[in-house]
Structure 1
């Protein structure tokens, strides 16, 4: 079925069709024939505008970067009242983009063309600007270059870990904990998620770990119930 186009520009129509196929079916779905059909054009148009499939994928990556940078710039505050909170929002935005658009995010990270490289540098410039504001306000714990690397690595790592984890085992708390670990490593601010060293939750985690093998004194049903209770205590989340 052809893609519903938002432009009459043939090149952009092809890119939009390729993006939709990529996000709905993965890289294997982005064949020149399928993209041409979705764009309502003939396959030779792909080669005329992009040279080959690699050129098309590079254009798709550039398109993704353009959307990503537009969002980042829309959120950019040149004089934030709280640069640490600004960093949290920016990190969340990057991770949300990667979590919600995994195929496009992965393609963007693999792209090596000049257009994608320029867009990548533009994104890094925005990140370094945020880091510079943290430093100027006295919040930075490490040097600016290391801070930028930590922020970037934790964001990409969060997205990669999320998608490599089976859907039924994904826990949104992971993203919050990773973000606050980044905040603690980069800034002097207190993380929003306190490090819990003791208490019922920590004790429940320890006991749950100790029960990894069967406990003969308990029946299978009792062990299952006990593990459920311990998991709820370990999560430290009020139950309805």
Structure 2
């Protein structure tokens, strides 16, 4: 992507986020209006966003479990930026990933919301042979220091010091060598949607869901439909899907 400075979504729109999140939550309570594809039982760890624990993703995990996946919480409590360095928590998550992989003897799909998506992407870079795909929800992997309202939360959790330097930003923007899908909403009032969009390639695609709040990524029926569809794709077809997606944008 070209380098350019972005600002966070307008602050006035941020005030509407709680109401929109409630509406997305209520919309998701009845469940999907149409049947969703069931999976093959492969493992799916789900990583929460900043300042919350796995309780925030419990509803999504229950829905995915009902679709026949072996779903896992990330087991690290409240999500925050590590006090020492980014890799300290990645090491713990790597140990969990390796345990899940060893028990199932099949690659896992990683699903991450916001900051959780950054961890999922980095895990896939370190262990590509153990990861089937990465699905990120409203994750600013191409983030710049002031492009999201979430930036102030990262700073607060890090003792008042911004935990993100230019070297780390560059590192986070590199795609893993496994199929990745970034699900984003242009109406997100927390994260600038532009920073959730990467370059189309054989390993990356972007999927827009309209009129979904940032918190709604965990509850909105359309997001669930997208995630269920991605998880249900046969592994051997994933690369072909990415190539076809890229070609459709060219011709």
Task: Using structure 1 for the length normalisation, give the TM-score.
Answer: 0.28
Q: Higher RCO, 1 or 2 (CA under 8 Å, sep at least 6)?
A: 2
Greater helix content = 1
- Higher Cα Rg, which structure: 1
Greater strand content = 2
Task: Using structure 2 for the length normalisation, give the TM-score.
Answer: 0.27
